[in-house]
Chain A
Amino acid sequence: MKRLWLLSFLVACSDSEEAARIDLPVTTDGTALAAATTDQTYSVQLDRVRIAVADIELTIEGEMHTDDARIVAPHPGHEGGGTVTGELPGSFILTWDGSVHDPLGDATLLVGDYHGANWTFRPADAADGLASDDPLVGHTFHITGTASKTGTDYPFDIVLDVEPNTRLVGAVFEDVVTEATTGSLGIQFFPADPFESDTAFDGLEFATLPEVGGVRQVRPGTAEHNALRRIIQTHDFYGVTQL
């Protein structure tokens, strides 16, 4: 009898199990570069947006779903944080120009209900494979496009710096990842916040920006730079989706 009792305990033992995980390629999704109208009534059409980032993290929502009035969630991504259960470590240049780019790499994700994405902004450098005269070298953002207002076009070229180790927390990534998930993850840039009415270029008076060779410029060290940087580095203008 005693042996039987001991045996039943032994047979019932099981090992620890790690959570299921999969690898998915990550790329940029250029389809989101639609025109946006700013609070200064400029219609902004982007030609190309490039951002130097590092260490992309993907987070699950956990057990907090704010459906009461006490903690208002203006849009997904707030209550950022979450738990990091997916990642693509390394340094990358995110490029949106309407064309399809090679994957940045394969992210590893635990299966789960995803809610957000994080990354760290950084200055681009020679290791990114950029030409030495590329305007992005030594900076974090390079944005080109055209702003239009009352029939006048203002081509622009914007270079932005971001304080070292500035993190973007809570880009929208509302998706369920299972062991059967295929395809890739596309990082999106939204000129206009898809959940609120603001745009990344609100407050910018393109007509009064310095002009070089017919192109309006924003460069580090100016008030316009600082104002634009403060807005464009928030999570409101970024997302991740399954492609």
Chain B
Amino acid sequence: MGDETIIVEDTDATPTDTPSAGVRVVTARELELTPHKNTDDLLRTVPGLYMSQHGSEGKGQQFFLRGFDAVHGSDISIRVAGIPINEMSNVHGQGYADLGFVVPEAVAGIVARKGPFDLEHGWFATAGSIDLELGIVENRGTRVGYEIGTTNRHRLVAVAAPEDGPAAQFITASVLRDSGYGENRGTEQASVLGQTELRTGAVKLRPMFAISTGTFGEPGVTAINDITSGFYDRLDSPPGDRGGETSRVLSGLGATWREGDDEIVGTAYLGWRSLRIEENFTGYLYSAEHGDARLQQQRAVTGGGHIAWRHRFTDSIRLLTGVDVAHDQIMQGEDLVTDTNVVWMQSRLLDAATSSGGVWAGLEWKRGPWTATAGARGDAMFVDANDQLDANRSGSGAIGLVTPRGAIAYRDERFSVSFGAGRGVRPPEARAFTRRESRENMDATVYDGGDAEITSATALELGGDVHLGPVRFGATGFATWIERESVFDHVSGVNALMDGSRRLGTELFIEARPLEWLAVRADATLVDARYVVTQNPVPGAPRALGTVEVRADRGPFTAGVAGRFLGPRPLLNGATAASASVVDALGTYTRGRYRVSLQIDNVLGLDWNEGEYHFASYWDTSTPRSEIPRVHISPGRPFGVRAGLTVEL
């Protein structure tokens, strides 16, 4: 927290150092000693972040942070090598963040900033932002690895990182096939990810590229009372063998220029993206004849850039300013399909262009142990949405918002305290700009919602930490308010304003290095998130999360154990999700050019539910149909073992 560690030298993704308490920096070595099987798992090192997979590996995760249900990324800004990954107006969810293209071996560090205090993070940074740095910091050279697991997992990975090259220079490739646990949780993926670094005088360039494709099962979720009745097993896939396909081509260029009192850091990117998801969460509730399966498809071309300019006026004052621009050209469709995948109704076919941008300006002041930043950023978007099913519903619009942000911190070698304040912004999706014919011959604003709006979250944070010998511990309190939340209701097709909500919470951590080769870290996050009118809890948002991480690094042996506790979670309508405890472990042994690894998922072998939801479904058609919601679960990973062998060439 508040750590100034720079993970990869001159990183493009972290050009500023906002002195807020909710910053967690995870180094490459820590990530290597964290049990994981993909890049998503590496994000579990972010304290207070809970991720739930209600599909299977390869589909984007559902994120919860600081009392937000960020769904697939609507409230967490995620960047890889400085490139924004949240997809504007994805058909499956606003801000959909799919990290499947990132080969985990190439993640050189994670910088998580909770809260909207950083000037450089615009859209989606309402609950926080996460930057993944790319690079191969240790064990450079050329190596290949093979992993086999108890879920019929086979993964082949190759890494080439010239030993005399900079950390940012590498190319990796991985091929994965995993049958998954239970029914229809398999995945097949192939990814190539590379980056290099070029230096010319004061200029440093980092071109990167990624090509990725994959498939994944979409097992849906299962009602608990369908499990207790024996109609389904907890690892069954009610919708059968439905699944998804994901592909991405991404290129980027990071640039850094430093001379005298000036520094410019920028990123430009261009990418193509395709996502196809077949899913059925409600069975035959809404269509007894066809079933409720739907097919969502999205194709997008996205390009943009980010330039930050910092100019030092005096020894203690710097100007922080910059601009973001992005253009998204998307096509999205949603069809209702039968059990045999025959389209029986088209519910959406939309072409949309979104041009968005942000500009920020502020000052940074540093004197002795004190650091402060203060400024504002403005974000705006223009959307042209063409409804291909009904041209009369096509629409366009422009919206924008200015948000202030700032933080101040005192830091010395033994003690730090900081205070942050700011507002984050979540954009509406393109479909929110379409028009809806008014019912009852009334003005459209009476019955049919209003214009699309930006949702903003105002946050405060106060925290600090103390170093006592090998022990460091700290606490942070935070509060977030959303006055009104603009939501596009896909069922009724209107923009609605949800009531305001507020989130109050605290994060505690302690970390120690009792032995030179042993590091221990524990953290706990407690949040009370509620709507202000009804005082109902924000559904799904964890009230209590805890993590204990132990990392050992001694000679040829390394080991990592991560235990995570998820407290009971409120669901809609007064239902409650179960608590869960999961312990994962890994160990490696290196000898010469060879390294063997063993990873164990869910060491304790406890049944746990990664996701829980409260809604109505109708699968057992031999029973009476009911629209009353019931608890559905997405089972968490069971006990499993993966063994790997890596050979340096």
The reply to whether B578 and A15 form a contact with Cβ atoms under 8 Å apart is yes
Complex contact B573–A85 (CB within 8 A): yes
Contact between B536 and A5 (Cβ–Cβ < 8 Å)?
no
Chain B residues with CB under 8 Å of A68's CB are 484, 497
**Residue-wise interface mask of A (3-16) relative to B, using a CB-CB cutoff of 8 A (1 in contact, 0 not):** 00110011011111
Stretch of A35-43, A71-79, A97-105 on the interface side: A71-79
Compute the total of residue contacts between A and B using a CB distance below 8 Å.
116
Among A18, A72, A79, A85, which residue has its beta carbon within 8 angstroms of that of B496? A79
What is the size category of the interface that chain B forms with chain A? 35 or more
A111 at interface (Cβ–Cβ under 8 A)? yes
User: Which of A25-33, A56-64, A138-146 lies at the interface with chain B?
Assistant: A56-64
Within 8 Å of chain A (Cβ to Cβ): is B531?
yes
Assembled-state Cα–Cα distance A66/B581 (Å):
40
Complex contact A9–B565 (CB within 8 A): yes
The reply on B533 being an interface residue by CB < 8 A is: yes
CB-based contact A21/B581 at 8 Å: no
Q: How far is the CA of A192 from the CA of B592 in the complex (A)?
A: 88
Are the CB atoms of A19 and B616 closer together than 8 Å?
no
Residues in chain A near residue B572, CB distance under 8 A? 83
Residues of B close to A63: CB separation below 8 A? 498-499, 501, 531, 533-534, 536
Inter-subunit contact B575/A18 (CB<8 Å)? yes
CB atoms of A87 and B575 under 8 A apart: no
Q: Does B182 contact A (CB under 8 A)?
A: no
A239 at the interface (CB under 8 A from B): no
A112 located at the interface, meaning its Cβ lies under 8 Å from any Cβ of chain B in the complex: yes
**B499 cross-chain contacts in A, Cβ below 8 A:** 63-65
- Given known pairs A18-B575, A21-B628, A112-B574, the reply for A71 and B450 (CB within 8 Å) is yes
The answer to whether A71 and B445 have CB atoms under 8 Å apart is: yes
**Closest Cβ–Cβ distance, residue B551 to chain A (whole Å):** 15
Are A10 and B581 neighbours in the complex by a CB distance under 8 Å?
A: yes
Question: B533's closest neighbor in chain A, by CB?
Answer: A65
Quick check: A19 and B614 within 8 Å, CB to CB? yes
- Cβ of B631 to closest chain A Cβ, rounded Å: 5
Give the residue name and chain of the B residue nearest to A84 (CB).
Answer: B627
How far apart sit A84 and B572, CA to CA, in the bound complex (Å)? 12
Candidates B449, B573, B614, B624; contact of A60 at CB < 8 Å: B573
Distance in angstroms from A202 CB to nearest chain B CB is 14
**Given A57-B627, A89-B624, also A5-B548 (CB < 8 A):** yes
A57, A112, A234 interface centre (most CB from chain B within 10 Å) = A112
Further pairs besides A63-B501, A84-B616, A84-B627: 8, Cβ < 8 Å: A13-B578, A13-B606, A18-B631, A63-B533, A78-B446, A85-B629, A110-B629, A112-B574
User: What would 12 A/B residue contacts be, using CB atoms closer than 8 Å?
Assistant: A5-B563, A16-B577, A63-B498, A65-B533, A71-B497, A74-B446, A84-B616, A84-B628, A85-B629, A108-B626, A110-B629, A112-B573
Chain A positions within 8 Å of B, measured between CB atoms, are 5-6, 9-10, 12-21, 57, 60-61, 63-66, 68, 70-72, 74, 78-79, 81, 83-87, 89, 108, 110-113, 234
Which of B's residues lie within 8 Å of A, judged by CB?
224-225, 440, 445-447, 449-450, 484, 489, 491-492, 496-499, 501, 531, 533-534, 536, 548, 563, 565, 567-568, 571-581, 583, 604, 606, 609, 612, 614, 616, 624-631, 633
Ranked nearest first, the 5 interchain pairs of A and B with the lowest CB-CB distance are: A9-B581, A19-B574, A17-B576, A84-B627, A19-B575
